[in-house]
Amino acid sequence: MSILATLLLLVVVVLFHPFLEGAEQIAARNATVSKCSSRKRSAGELRGQICLKSCERNPLQCKHRQCLCDGACGLSCVLPDLRCPWPMAVDNAETRLAQGSNTFGNFMEVTCKPGFRMADGQKGSLSRCQGDKKWSFTAPCEDVSTPPSLCEPLPEIENGYHGDGPYRIGREVRYWCKFGYRLEGASTLLCQENQEWSQRVPICQPVRCPRPAPIAQGTVVTVDRFEYPVGTVIYYLCKREFYLDGPNRGVCLENGSWSQPPSCRARCPILARRSRVVYNGRKLWIDEIPEHQIHHGESITFFCRSQNKTCSFQAESQCFDGVLKLPPCYDEPTYLQYHLFPRRVVSEIPAC
């Protein structure tokens, strides 16, 4: 009895072996998919993948889509039922849907035809249906009977990256630098007919800002150096009585220049004395305003006489960097008007 059972089990295992293996493979793939990497822009770009809106920080921001793992793009807002092209022709290869479906996240098996191999020597590889409705890149199947015409592998560079091989003739390879570094030399190299690269390999030089320029009527607060790395923060202060117009901090930008500095704006002297004005909601004689000055950006309201001289109306003026223009309609009362008939000066007569 037990022999019969063992035999039966053996038959089942033999019959369903390919199926079991397939299911295991798929489960293994799903497991790797669930460990989603963070978005690597250059990694995605290298393979021509277009990354959809990222939802790594906030999965709820995908309104009509779902927050799913999209390979090197990381967690992205994806339409889960999108389809990649099928049937799919790949040069010198057979293609098959690994899970029988061409929807997002499923795999296509690319198997090289006899006599062909991928650059890494493999007979085939898997391609994933991406959020941009394209199959992920697989190395092409190459004819193994003729030796490949390749350029030398490109060296890694410090503080930068470049496109992956294989480096076949006609292939253009791009170099990038990390944040805070600037590429010096050619950014793309071409693998030429003679199997030599068209240019020398570029280098990534750190970007630095020069000493920040001083600002008029103010000071720049920083450690004094000859040059500063990208991201350095400096602070601006204005002299007493000057108003800081703009940000109080500056940053060394990625292109080696400082962010826009602020201006220190002067206070405005009030070039009138003999009438009242409205300042900060109060009607005051100009002598009551400290130092007869107002700050940059502040406004003051003057009184002007109507055409028939019987009543007054108001005219406002704003201080801008030391200059306060008196309204054209304002007439400064004379010394006699002010001292002998103070009740008749323009600010004291009835309003129109």
Ligand X SMILES: *[C@@H]1O[C@H](CO)[C@@H](O)[C@H](O)[C@H]1NC(C)=O
CA distance 95 to 84: 13
Secondary element (H or E) of residue 315: strand 312-318
Give whichever of 171 and 182 is closer to ligand X, judged by the CB atom.
182
Query: Is 352 an interacting residue with respect to ligand X (CB under 6 A)?
Result: yes
CA distance 276 to 69: 70
Interface mask toward ligand X for 234-253; x: CB under 6 A? -------------------x
Give whichever of 80 and 247 is closer to ligand X, judged by the CB atom.
247
Give whichever of 201 and 311 is closer to ligand X, judged by the CB atom.
311
Instruction: Quickly list DSSP for 48-87.
Output: TPPP--B-SS-GGG-SSSEEEE-GGG-EEEE-TT-B--SS
Give first-to-last CA distance, the chain, whole Å.
118
Question: Among 255, 287, 343, 350, which residue sits at the site for ligand X (rule: CB under 6 A)?
Answer: 255
Query: Is 310 an interacting residue with respect to ligand X (CB under 6 A)?
Result: yes
Residues in the interface with ligand X (CB under 6 A) total 9
CB of 29 to ligand X, least distance (A): 42
CA distance 163 to 174: 6
Question: Among 257, 280, 299, 334, which residue sits at the site for ligand X (rule: CB under 6 A)?
Answer: 257
Binding segment toward ligand X, per CB under 6 A, in 243-251, 268-276, 307-315, 317-325: 307-315
Question: Among 311, 315, 326, 349, which residue sits at the site for ligand X (rule: CB under 6 A)?
Answer: 311
Query: Is 308 an interacting residue with respect to ligand X (CB under 6 A)?
Result: yes
Exposed, middle or buried by CB within 10 Å (0-12, 13-18, 19+), for 87? exposed
**Residues paired with 228 in a beta bridge:** 209
Q: Would you tell me which residues interact with ligand X (CB under 6 A)?
A: 253, 255, 257, 306-308, 310-311, 352
